[in-house]
Structure 1
């Protein structure tokens, strides 16, 4: 499969990615900036993994930081290009393509600008169909590996003198916190490129077709009749509305590890719901602490018209819908089947995740 991405695909990617963002995954306007910047350079080519030889080099274009808008950050399109260029220089070999670690409001488009600028393809594969808080959760099962990998980062708030570039080498689980610390020092959000691997490994471990899923969902949203967006989202994905009500309480704080962590409580007239947040929605409990949904399920807040509402824009008193896709309905990568990625999340949230995620 080969598909030339065109300007209309930018909005489809942003809208579809916003649902898979699960309350995080960057910012819609940032995604539009990345997509439009790519289109100004040329037409990125989206290809399936089968278009590449097994030994072709692929890396993950990503952004690191807390997406709830609680910090002073700056990230330009050129930062994504620079991060990829730094990795390619460190590798000493040309990259054939880029994947993304997750779908999201902007992260679905993370690879478009560096790919078209540097002459490589956008590969239709993701480390995770939905957005997640840590780089390890999109690392295609490499989080527990001791094999040294290359990870780079570039970006930062220029007026504060917070621009940073770095090239790191080491085991993924050891290096990922270093890049997250760099994100915090840069203003809370930084571009990265990480983990160059062969296409054969991507084929075996990624969630294949993940970008096409976001594009198809976005196209359905754009084509929905007035008042029919929620039905369109549910129809295309097979998801359902888990709850509907008003936000009774929001307790989310920013941490020095560049995470937004806390809970959002919903009064739905049925005992209430609690949404657990670590950058993204990671779990939903009912009022009796019975688990209703857990990562890697898709968990997203929508407004009554069907527009995704990020954690940063959820306000107490607002009416929201909780949209849910069970993990059985989405492609799963080796990342989400890796037990080593869950302890840091469970410790931060104080709830169980792995038992449900790995079941």
Structure 2
């Protein structure tokens, strides 16, 4: 157990931005929520092994589409979502965790932990960001035996979009309800869900996910004074990942639909070859020449600015931008039970119009032309 610091906040945001895979929130929001956590308390990071098997851990997150613009999630909304679960759950909650890393989602739970005297558990529902709650639900996506409790809070009261909602039921049904609530609240909403014993977390989560993001972030911060190219080389060396393409953004066709960002971004390399990024909130697949699949979720897939060395989210990618496509093969990262669950893929494949599941156990031979 150790106390989280201001340096940890910045490092978690920097490292989490790589694992954000084009989504995972916003840098400013992560710094704001992390700073608020340190201002009101002393959040502590604990290994899941430090908790007894029956200690109850809650997942804290934000639900929505990264390019959404009409949402409002205040710090008190994150805290309120946890309090709503505490009111309805018949047991004592001792810790919180995040379902994924990201620009702000690596910080998920730090503020409620500080405000409500809980611990932050060093585990993630997925090491990288993902579009659906089912992909971070710790192997419970298709369970009909587990009754979960989920709560959402957020929106703008002055516009009549503020919502507080608590639902009980199967993870699949309740997740779909919360996605609708997010859309109604303006595109993003704070959430708490899935009270589970630490034993389940130990068996099904991506263990050490927060520390992994923080350590990467520290390496990035140390490399930044030497410029963008050094930052990119550092990210590759630290993670074992590679830039699989470099070029400029040739086209962006992304639309908002039902609290999801859906579409494609095309990057044109110096030789004229085009690489396509497939998007559902995050980058879920990369296709090269003649549609050859280069990378597929749950690989980490990130767009990095060649000018700054910093990851660029889907919402901030613009045509003409100089970008590198960075990939960490799934064999190099801890995988949760959820990303191995075949039932979480069909709805994403249908929404995107591409195949994902058939590539899950295939060695894709990711290119490593750069670094």
Judge conservation of contact 1:22–1:130 (CA < 8 Å) in 2: yes
Hey, what does 2:159 align to over in structure 1?
Answer: 160
Give SS of 1:302's match.
strand
Judge conservation of contact 1:5–1:46 (CA < 8 Å) in 2: yes
Give 1:116 deviation, angstroms. 1.1
Give 1:8 deviation, angstroms. 1.2
Over residues 213-242 of structure 1, what are the superposed CA-to-partner deviations in whole Å (9 max), with x where a residue is unaligned?
Answer: 000010001111412111111111111101
Q: Find the aligned partners of 1:358 and 1:122 in 2 and give their Cα distance.
A: 32
Change in CA separation of 1:249 and 1:95 when aligned onto 2, cut-off 3 Å: same
2:244 corresponds, among 208, 232, 242, to: 242
Over residues 141-181 of structure 1, what are the superposed CA-to-partner deviations in whole Å (9 max), with x where a residue is unaligned?
Answer: 10000021111111112321111001100000111010000
Hey, what does 1:212 align to over in structure 2?
Answer: 211
Give SS of 1:140's match.
coil
Q: Find the aligned partners of 1:286 and 1:130 in 2 and give their Cα distance.
A: 22
Over residues 232-259 of structure 1, what are the superposed CA-to-partner deviations in whole Å (9 max), with x where a residue is unaligned?
Answer: 111111111010001111000000x200
* Displaced runs of 4 or more, over 6 A: none
**Are 1:272 and 2:274 matched, yes or no?**
yes
Give 1:306 deviation, angstroms. 1.1
**Are 1:324 and 2:323 matched, yes or no?**
no
Over residues 15-73 of structure 1, what are the superposed CA-to-partner deviations in whole Å (9 max), with x where a residue is unaligned?
Answer: 100010000000100001110000001221000001111011011001000012x3311
Q: Find the aligned partners of 2:32 and 2:196 in 1 and give their Cα distance.
A: 28
Give SS of 2:248's match.
strand
Q: Find the aligned partners of 1:358 and 1:95 in 2 and give their Cα distance.
A: 36
Q: Find the aligned partners of 1:81 and 1:203 in 2 and give their Cα distance.
A: 25
Hey, what does 1:136 align to over in structure 2?
Answer: 134
Give 1:195 deviation, angstroms. 0.7
Over residues 179-211 of structure 1, what are the superposed CA-to-partner deviations in whole Å (9 max), with x where a residue is unaligned?
Answer: 000000001000000111110000000000000
Give 1:272 deviation, angstroms. 1.0
Hey, what does 1:10 align to over in structure 2?
Answer: 9
Q: Map 1:166-315 onto structure 2 (within 5 A).
A: 166-224=165-223, 225-227=225-227, 228-255=230-257, 257-268=258-269, 269=271, 271-304=273-306, 305-315=308-318
Over residues 279-300 of structure 1, what are the superposed CA-to-partner deviations in whole Å (9 max), with x where a residue is unaligned?
Answer: 0000000021000000000000
Judge conservation of contact 1:74–1:158 (CA < 8 Å) in 2: no
Over residues 321-352 of structure 1, what are the superposed CA-to-partner deviations in whole Å (9 max), with x where a residue is unaligned?
Answer: 00100000000000101111001110011111
Give SS of 2:290's match.
coil
Q: Find the aligned partners of 2:332 and 2:164 in 1 and give their Cα distance.
A: 39
**Are 1:40 and 2:42 matched, yes or no?**
no
**Are 1:117 and 2:120 matched, yes or no?**
no
Hey, what does 2:366 align to over in structure 1?
Answer: none
Hey, what does 2:106 align to over in structure 1?
Answer: 108
Give SS of 2:175's match.
helix
The TM-score, its normalising length taken from structure 1, stands at: 0.98
Q: Find the aligned partners of 1:67 and 1:59 in 2 and give their Cα distance.
A: 23
Give 1:355 deviation, angstroms. 1.2
Q: Find the aligned partners of 2:325 and 2:158 in 1 and give their Cα distance.
A: 38
Q: Map 1:65-80 onto structure 2 (within 5 A).
A: 65-68=64-67, 70-80=68-78
Q: Find the aligned partners of 1:181 and 1:99 in 2 and give their Cα distance.
A: 23
Higher mean C-alpha displacement, 319-328 vs 88-97: 88-97
Hey, what does 2:350 align to over in structure 1?
Answer: 347
